[in-house]
Amino acid sequence: MKNYITTPIYYVNGEAHIGHAYTTFIADTLARHSRLIGNETYFLTGTDEHGQKIEEAAKKLDKPTQQFADEISATFRNLWDEFNISYDQFIRTTDAEHKKGVQVAFAKMFENGDIYKDFYEGNYCVSCETFFPESQLMDGGCCPDCGRATTILKEESYFFRLSKYEKPLLDYYEAHPEFILPKSRRNEVISFVKGGLNDLSVTRTSFSWGVHLPESLNEPKHVMYVWLDALMNYVTALGYGTDEAKMDFWPANTQLVGKDILRFHAIYWPAFLMSLGLPLPKHIGAHGWWTRDGEKMSKSKGNVVDPREVSKHYGVENFRYFMMREVPFGQDGDFSQRALIDRMNSDLSNDLGNLLNRIIGMSEKYSDFVINSVDVEKYHTKELNDAHAILDSLDTYLNELQLHRYLEELWKVFSIGNKAIEEHAPWVKIKEGRNDEALATVALVANLLAKASVMLHSIMPSTTSTIADALGFEITTKSYTKLIVNKELLESFTIKKIPPLFPRVDEPLMQEAPKAMLDEAPIAEPKPKMEDKKETTVSEEGLITIDQFFQTSIKIGTVLNAEEVPKSSKLLKLQVDLGEEYPRQIVAGIREYYSAESLIGTQVCVVANLKPAKLMGLLSEGMILAAKDSDGLCLVRPEKPRQSGSSVG
């Protein structure tokens, strides 16, 4: 079976971020899995390099446009190489074959009457490369997407008869419920199309950095609309319009996109394909976005997650496992070091890594590292059957792009292993001289690990290869067939004593940006061991009663305004809302650590029933709580915003 998987081509207006990595990881996982189970697989990714925005960005840097595109494109490609992405082709829309292919497609659409010439006039956003109707513009005629100013543009343009495909598209969605995944997105697309489709302007004369129209049309002024150009990459990569040798990979099985570009892929793209008489892809999968510590990422906030940075500190495959496991396909996910660390420790170290270590230890003590499956079926049919049932069910999840469920299920195999060891306690059996039984349990777990590793391989290719190597086999289509399809067991082998694959992570490995650090939930102290527990951890001396404590009124305050106190290097004068009629004026000695601007709009804890005092002649009606150590001072703040005036205690 042929299986074609694509990511979108990434626009070269900036470097790769976590979203690009996420899409690419999913696609790579699908591609690797497809190859593993023996499909003939083609995995495409690449870069989208045309358009006015690129032309202008290059001009700003005083670089030739092509050179600019070359450079950014290379950063993507390098990152994917660094991340061990198994793409078969990295296409660029500036590739000669691609341009040729798009022209062939354009000519064909023109010939069959789906493209015609007219005029377009409207408010155009250069940044988004989109026209917006008057009604959609924001105040002052700004772009509703990016907020930048739009300009009125009237230009001669070729149009694609999108309106003609309204009905065929709706019919197709109806007949193919699995075309758009997840379902919630499908509904959105359908309701959009039902709202009516306008013909699509597909050429521009306002800039020249793009694919020119076919020579037969003799329209040197026009270049193609970036989306027509970009979308066609999925077939030009296979040689559409040039050398069509690979076109038998079409239609694609799965085309992954971010939710922001679903409309283009679920409406325009299938319409183009219909016009060209090509079949439509089986699935368009729209995934969600990532936030950081619960907040939207943006350059201005400085909280953007650099995938390279994360993988450098935590390992690409751990990062990748986290992304695939953490969030249901289609949903937005939240990245935080805490969540990543929790996943790594709990799933990878405790469940998987430790399990491998357990059998290494036992086989060392009981059988000089030799593991033999001879007696596994005799003593552990139940466990084997349970595990096989789980392994058999996994494909379903993968087909629905439910990778988190896939992993969730797969992990039950490790659980079977851990439970089996407990239940059969090989160390007891050895003492009783029932060596066969003890060794059978060890071998059972080795087999469970082997089988699970095969199924984990497409998500953690290198790590699972290491596991397989320790278990004396190699993960290939052949071993997949043997261990998973035919449910066979491992040959006798000598297990390798390898150091722990997933050392526990006790504290964040990555330096946080200052802002993010404030927002990061405090890392829980490792809980003290039972025997360390004393009656109390404080001496009786100087203790107060709870009533005494509540004599202090601590409230949450929102900083409405902040300014520096003249002639003072330490003091800031704040106006803080405590939910009272008027804000309090509070003078605080925190200027060395916090700028006035950075405080406005944030929340602090305030001692509200403190006798007012004068500092530098200014009245201060409260005290702000802060903690100080040798590294400096930081404010004590609510973890999440609370209403001004909420009491703390």
Partner RNA sequence: GGCUGGGUAGCUCAGCUGGUUAGAGCGCUGGUCUCAUAAGCCGGAGGUCGGGGGUUCGAGUCCCCCCCCCGCCA
Interacting residues toward RNA by CB under 7 A: 135-136, 184, 187-188, 191-192, 195, 259-260, 263, 328, 331, 342, 345-346, 349-354, 356-358, 361-362, 365, 415, 418-419, 421-422, 425-427, 500-504, 524, 526-527, 529-530
Least spacing, CB of residue 648 vs RNA, in Å: 18
Which of residues 37 and 266 has its CB atom nearest to RNA in the complex?
A: 266
Question: Please, which residue, 49 or 351, has the CB nearer to RNA?
Answer: 351
CA separation for the pair 225, 222 (Å, rounded): 9
For RNA, which is the closer residue by CB, 99 or 325?
325
Distance CA(262)–CA(588), nearest Å, equals 50
As beta bridge partners, residue 123 has: 132, 152
CB 284 within 8 A of CB 180: yes
- What is the smallest separation between the CB atom of 506 and RNA, expressed in angstroms? 8
Cα–Cα distance measured from residue 102 to residue 232, given in angstroms and rounded to the nearest whole number: 6
- Contact residues for 47 (Cβ-Cβ < 8 A; gap 6+): 9, 10, 11, 12, 69, 72, 73, 76, 77, 90, 91, 92, 93
Tell me if 358 sits within 8 A of 445, measured CB to CB.
yes
Contacts of 569 by beta carbon, 8 Å cutoff, 6+ apart: 591, 592
Which is closer to RNA, CB of 39 or CB of 357? 357
Q: Cβ 44 to RNA, closest distance in Å?
A: 26
Query: Shortest CA distance to 182 belongs to which of 254, 270, 284, 321?
Result: 284
DSSP result, 529-572 = PGGG--S-SS-STT---HHHHTTS-EEEEEEEEEEEPTT-SS-E
CA–CA dist 461, 456 (Å, integer): 8
Whole-number Å distance between alpha carbons of 280 and 179: 9
In the complex, least distance from residue 420 CB atom to RNA, rounded to whole angstroms: 9
Q: How far is the CB of 338 from RNA (least distance, A)?
A: 10
For the CB of residue 437, give the shortest distance to RNA in the complex, in Å: 14
CB of 514 to RNA, least distance (A): 25
Return the percent helix, strand and coil in the chain, to nearest 5: 45, 20, 35
Nearer to RNA, 362 or 394 (CB): 362
**CB of 152 vs RNA, minimal distance in Å:** 19
CB of 353 to RNA, least distance (A): 2
The answer to whether 23 touches 287, Cβ cutoff 8 Å, is: yes
**Euclidean distance between CA atoms 254 and 86, whole angstroms:** 16
Q: Tell me how far apart the alpha carbons of residues 257 and 271 are, in angstroms, rounded to a whole number.
A: 17
Residue 537 corresponds to which tokens in the numbers above?
């951890």
Task: Rank residues 523 and 544 by Cβ distance to RNA and give the closer one.
Answer: 523
Of 138 and 560, which has the nearer Cβ to RNA? Answer: 138
What contacts 478, CB < 8 A, 6 or more positions away? none
Which residue, 412 or 591, has its beta carbon nearer to RNA? 412
CB of residue 523 to RNA, shortest distance in Å: 11
Nearer Cβ to RNA (523/619): 523
Q: Quick one: 89 or 291, whose CB is closer to RNA? A: 291
Nearest alpha carbon to residue 111 among 243, 253, 213, 20: 213
Give the shortest CB-422-to-RNA separation in angstroms.
4
The nearer residue to RNA, 333 or 583, going by C-beta atoms, is 333
